[in-house]
Amino acid sequence: MMKMRTIGFVVVEDHPIVRQGIRLLLSREPHLRWLGETGKGEHVLDLVRQTQPDVLILDLGLPGLQGLDVIKQLQKEPAAPKILVVTARQDAPSLNAALEFGAQGYLLKSDDADELARALALIADDGIYVSPALAELMSDPGIPSHVLTERERDVVAAVVQGLPSKAVGVALGISEHTVRKHRENIARKLNLRNPAQLVAWALRHPI
């Protein structure tokens, strides 16, 4: 069996007990490695440059430099980590803003530890994660699944599992380039702006 690669992560959260809890929960996963933490948005760039994590776990409600500003700031970095937002905010503006600014995942603090580990692994592997509880908050174009071709529905089903384009191609026996073209066509047909909206759409429209 192929060994799972190690994923390094850092935690940006202003409550020490929450940081410690995340570290303890994820320490049970042998392929996840804690690299550092901070409670201030202003310290994130230094932390990322020093530790070079694969994933940054980020709360939105930080003192000083807010979480959304941290996401925008990190997009300017040449080797920016993937960003998994872990927050109590369940409003559509926060969710949409985080995804549009560049986060790859959005998890609620009410979700369990297994879901946290799953979300972290998915986005580290170029997947997209949105907490199922938040799917209804994503803008819904109200377009039924039959507007998609059979192959496009296959691609959607694979994407919802968190698979990146390369893995989707392997699973379906097509090239990564073809998968990307299918995803572009799907987004155009469904009027979706980012991959996370595709995941949310699929959660509401089972294929």
Q: What is the mean pLDDT of each run of 10 residues along the chain (207 residues)?
A: 77 96 92 95 95 97 92 90 94 84 91 92 85 67 70 83 79 91 88 72 66
Over the Cα atoms of the chain, what is R_g?
Answer: 17
pLDDT (0 to 100) of residue 11? 97
pLDDT (0 to 100) of residue 137? 61
pLDDT (0 to 100) of residue 117? 93
CB 159 within 8 A of CB 183: yes
Cα–Cα distance for residue pair 139/205, rounded to 1 Å: 13
pLDDT (0 to 100) of residue 2? 43
DSSP 61: -
Strand pairing class (82-87; 55-58)? parallel
Q: Which residues 6+ apart lie within 8 Å of 62 measured at CB?
A: 12, 13, 14, 39, 40, 41, 70
Cα–Cα distance for residue pair 139/130, rounded to 1 Å: 13
pLDDT (0 to 100) of residue 204? 65
What is the token pair recorded at 200? 């949310």
Question: For residue 163, which of 140, 129, 197, 131 has the smallest C-alpha distance?
Answer: 129
Say if pTM beats, i.e. exceeds, 0.85. Answer: no
pLDDT (0 to 100) of residue 30? 92
What is the token pair recorded at 169? 């191609």
DSSP 80: P
Q: Which residues 6+ apart lie within 8 Å of 119 measured at CB?
A: 84, 105, 107, 129, 131
pLDDT (0 to 100) of residue 1? 40
pLDDT (0 to 100) of residue 78? 87
